[in-house]
């Protein structure tokens, strides 16, 4: 067996030992990206928790299992947070160890990358993009210049969302205004009649957000959905102004979201504007990657 095959298919004690040995001397979020997710495919948290000792590996494996519908909410990893935790990791340790109702509403574990012997993997590709292909856009947004205040969200800029989604644009206005502004400054093509758009439930974008923040990019085969979930919760804690799960759930419940179509969309893309009526501002997550 290769090390990857051991991590994937060996008995849990052997696989856990191989996982931790393979990760020695490496920054925790760069464990070949997918090794913790690969381990979690065939090894439950109940089976593996006594055999994993590295707190950062335990964190990643736990959240990989959460995405596979294993509820481990009775366990808490907060007390295991290392003293040398970096800014990149801030908030990861308080993310709930079970899917919240708004996460589960559109989540489908069958969309997770599936690993095979020899290190190969496959997945549906449905979580590489938002809005989905063949999506209906019932409204047209005017493309006139937005005259409100615009800035970049520095708290998010401190850590990479993904290799092709580097920043979040903050607009003091509605989600529609944020969407129209982003198309005007970064869109492809000239849509004289307006930007095709639709109002959507934030939860409907959850699978794509996890997929994109996991590290997905063109010609890249090493990704981690567990890391995608952790980074999404970190992002939401910044937008909501609180790391508490209850506050983030309240934020998700009250926001208005708009997505839009860009004629140049190809394989990987995200177009999502999030409006919080309480704060009176909107955030635009907008980017593309191409083959």
Domain ranges of the chain: 3-98, 132-289
- Determine whether 8 is exposed, middle or buried from the number of CB atoms within 10 Å of its CB (0-12, 13-18, 19+): buried
pTM exceeds 0.95 for this model: no
Q: What is the pLDDT of residues 32-52, one digit of tens each?
A: 468 899 999 999 999 999 999
Q: CA 259 to CA 200: how far, in whole Å? A: 7
Q: CA 195 to CA 208: how far, in whole Å? A: 21
- Is the separation of the CB atoms in 180 and 143 below 8 Å? yes
Kindly give the interhelix angle for 35-42 and 12-22, rounded to the nearest 10 degrees: 180
Predicted confidence (pLDDT) at residue 185 exceeds the cutoff of 80: no
Query: How many residues are listed for the chain in this entry?
Result: 291
pLDDT confidence bin for 267, thresholds 50/70/90? confident
């Amino acid at each position: 067996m290769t090390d990857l095959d051991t991590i994937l298919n060996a008995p849990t004690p052997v696989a856990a030992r191989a996982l931790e040995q393979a990760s020695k001397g490496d920054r925790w979020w760069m464990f070949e990206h997918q090794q913790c997710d690969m381990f979690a495919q065939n090894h439950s948290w109940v089976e593996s928790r006594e055999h994993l000792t590295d707190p950062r590996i335990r964190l990643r494996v736990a959240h990989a299992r959460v995405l596979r519908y294993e509820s481990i909410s009775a366990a808490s990893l907060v007390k295991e947070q290392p003293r040398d935790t970096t800014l990149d990791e801030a908030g990861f340790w308080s993310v709930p160890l079970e899917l919240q109702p708004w996460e589960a509403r559109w989540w489908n574990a069958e969309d997770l990358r599936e690993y095979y012997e020899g290190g190969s993997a496959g997945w549906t590709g449905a979580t590489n993009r938002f809005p989905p292909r063949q999506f209906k856009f019932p409204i047209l947004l005017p493309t006139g210049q937005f005259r409100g205040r615009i800035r970049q969200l520095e708290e998010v800029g401190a850590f990479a969302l993904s290799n092709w989604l580097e920043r979040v644009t903050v607009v003091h206005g509605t989600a529609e205004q944020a969407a129209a502004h982003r198309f005007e400054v970064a869109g492809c093509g000239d849509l004289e009649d307006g930007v095709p758009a639709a109002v959507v439930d934030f939860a409907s974008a959850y699978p794509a957000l996890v997929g994109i923040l996991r590290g997905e990019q063109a010609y890249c085969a090493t990704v981690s959905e567990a890391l995608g979930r952790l980074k999404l919760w970190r992002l939401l804690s910044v937008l909501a102004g609180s790391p508490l799960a209850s506050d983030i759930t309240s934020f998700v419940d009250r926001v208005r979201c708009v997505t839009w179509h860009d004629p140049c969309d190809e394989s990987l893309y995200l177009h999502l504007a999030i409006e919080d009526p309480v704060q009176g501002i909107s955030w635009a997550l907008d980017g593309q990657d191409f083959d």
